[in-house]
């Protein structure tokens, strides 16, 4: 009998209090609110981090514990699920600079990442999904620890001084689980960002287009801020966040919190991760998911041609495969057919690459027999 009673006792400020409604397992969260934990990635490559995000989303149930995953990438570009990478980024520049460009699983626009920005992914059950709440946790952290007053606009961007965007948001909802991720610009290299995100304007596409906005770095408003400090601040606020109805005077650690932990996103810690990474790197995913687009460019032709020195040719690409070639300028029927059918047949069905127009040009130059075309007019 004594042990049963003893089990009902808690001690607070030297005074013992018994509540018969509480059982001895009261330490485990009787609030029935989900627990909270912050994961910090040890990796800085975008493939490992995005793959881990997907792995957690596919394999875990977040109804009992919400996870905030914090990660940073070495310079890279991340496009939204339904975007056209060629429209959104300067692919040749990125290739020459060795900067990876990746298509993520969630929708939305294109972002440039480097180690001056912090990525936050909030994992919850589908029912508990709440973007505004997550963004409030961040705004609270900015206010309490850095004296920055930030607002959330109607697009769920976090803005400072009403117009300068310091964060962009995207999300994915599934059957049981959901995640909301956002970037936080602390000290990002704005010049690299501009160079990287200069897309190809000769492309016309129905894919989701990024909406450009004026951005700022948080360091502009708080010079002492570093990504590490912001990481700790956002993490702590997430762990201890109390809704307005709750007692905010409790300085004791929230019982729901499991603190911070480092995550090593590799296959041995998370079996199945490598497969997800391989898929992210694959052509089928990165280019193959691109919606229908048309690209129109001038193609230089032989000087001896009476048509002029360049004609406009457009190609149609669907899921990264060239579907058709069309001559847009008015030219002779013979030339039109030559380009659309002869050359077209050799390139239709092959994979799109930005150099495809050079390919068309070189095939025009190599064409045989030349005399036929000279006598077109």
Partner 1 sequence: MKILPDTSFFLSLLTFGVEEYFVISPSFTRLAADVEIQFCPPDKLKPKPAVKDLVFGKTFTEHMLEIQWVDGEGWHKPQISPFHNLSMHPAAKSLHYSVQFEGMKAYRGVDGKIRLFRPDENMKRMNRTAERASLPTFDGEELIELIKKLIRIDQEWVPHSESSSLYVRPTLISNEDALKVEQPSKALLFVILSPTGPYFSTGFNAVSLLADPQYVRSWPGGCGHTKMGANYGPTLMIQKEAMKKGLQQVLWLYGPDHRLTEVGAMNIMIVLKKKNGGIELVTPPLDGLILPGVTRLSILEIVRSWPEYEVTERDITMAEVVEASKEDRLLEIFGAGTAVVVCPVGEIHYMDKVIKVPTMQQEKPLYKKVYNAILDIQYGRNQHPWAVPID
**Applying CB under 8 A, which residues contact partner 1?**
1-3, 5-7, 9-12, 14-22, 24-28, 35, 38-40, 42, 59-60, 64-65, 228, 231-232, 235, 239, 252-253, 257-264, 266, 268-271
DSSP state of 215: B
What's phi and psi for 250, nearest 5 deg?
Answer: -70, 115
Locate 16 and state its tokens. 């013992």
Q: How far is the CB of 1 from partner 1 (least distance, A)?
A: 7
| Cβ-based nearer residue to partner 1, 228 or 278 | 228
Considering the complex, state which of residue 181 and residue 256 has its C-beta at the smaller distance from partner 1: 256
- Residue 254 CB, shortest distance to partner 1, in Å, is 9
Q: Which two tokens stand for residue 334?
A: 């013979």
Give least dist CB 116 to partner 1, A: 18
Q: Rounded to whole angstroms, how far apart are CA atoms 110 and 78? A: 6
Comparing CA positions, the residue from 35, 11, 27 lying closest to residue 257 is 35
CA distance 162 to 169: 17
Choice between 60 and 318, CB closer to partner 1: 60
22 or 279: CB nearest partner 1 = 22
Residue 26 Cβ, how far from partner 1 at the closest point, in Å?
A: 5
CA angle 288, 294, 295 (to 5 degrees): 105
Closest distance to partner 1 from the beta carbon of 16 (Å): 5
Compare residues 163 and 253 and give the one whose CB is closer to partner 1. Answer: 253
Cβ closer to partner 1: 252 or 377? 252
Count of all residues that appear for the chain in the document: 377
- Give the span between the Cα atoms of 152 and 141, in whole angstroms: 14
What is the smallest separation between the CB atom of 128 and partner 1, expressed in angstroms? 17
Euclidean distance between CA atoms 80 and 130, whole angstroms:
20
User: Quick one: 228 or 302, whose CB is closer to partner 1?
Assistant: 228
Round to whole Å and give the CA distance between 88 and 61.
Answer: 34
Q: How far is the CB of 52 from partner 1 (least distance, A)?
A: 11
Residues 6 or more apart in contact with residue 200 via CB below 8 angstroms? 86, 87, 90, 91, 295, 354
């Amino acid at each position: 009998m004594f042990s049963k009673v003893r089990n009902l006792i808690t001690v607070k400020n030297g005074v013992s209090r018994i509540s018969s409604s509480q059982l001895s397992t009261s330490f485990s969260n009787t609030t029935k609110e989900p627990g909270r934990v912050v994961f910090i990635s040890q990796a800085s490559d975008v493939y490992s981090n995005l793959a881990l995000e997907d792995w957690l989303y596919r394999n875990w149930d977040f109804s009992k514990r919400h996870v905030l995953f914090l990660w940073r990438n070495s310079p890279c570009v991340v496009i939204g699920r339904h975007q056209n990478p060629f429209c959104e980024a300067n692919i040749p520049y990125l290739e020459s600079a060795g900067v990876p460009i990746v298509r993520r699983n969630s929708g939305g626009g294109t972002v440039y990442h480097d180690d001056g920005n912090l990525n936050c992914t909030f994992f919850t059950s589908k029912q508990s999904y709440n973007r505004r709440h997550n963004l409030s946790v961040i705004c609270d952290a900015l206010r309490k620890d850095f004296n920055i007053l930030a607002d959330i606009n109607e697009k769920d961007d976090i803005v400072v001084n009403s117009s300068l965007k310091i964060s962009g948001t995207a999300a994915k909802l599934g059957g049981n689980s959901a995640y909301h991720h956002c970037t936080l610009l602390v000290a990002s290299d704005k010049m690299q960002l501009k160079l990287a995100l200069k897309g190809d304007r000769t492309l016309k596409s129905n894919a989701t287009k990024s909406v450009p906005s004026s951005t700022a770095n948080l360091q502009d408003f708080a010079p002492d801020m570093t990504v590490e400090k912001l990481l700790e601040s956002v993490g702590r606020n997430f762990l201890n966040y109390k809704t307005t109805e709750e007692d905010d005077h409790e300085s004791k650690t929230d019982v729901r919190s499991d603190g911070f932990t480092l995550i090593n996103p590799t296959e041995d810690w998370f079996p199945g991760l490598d497969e997800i990474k391989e898929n992210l790197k694959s052509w089928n995913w990165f280019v193959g998911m691109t919606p229908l687009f048309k690209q129109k460019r001038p193609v230089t032709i032989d000087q001896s041609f009476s048509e002029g020195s360049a004609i406009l040719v457009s190609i149609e690409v669907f899921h990264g495969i060239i579907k058709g070639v069309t001559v847009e300028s008015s030219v002779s029927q013979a030339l039109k057919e030559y380009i659309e059918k002869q050359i077209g047949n050799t390139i239709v069905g092959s994979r799109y690459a930005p150099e495809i127009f050079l390919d068309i040009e070189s095939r025009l130059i190599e064409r045989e027999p030349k005399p036929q075309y000279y006598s077109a007019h």
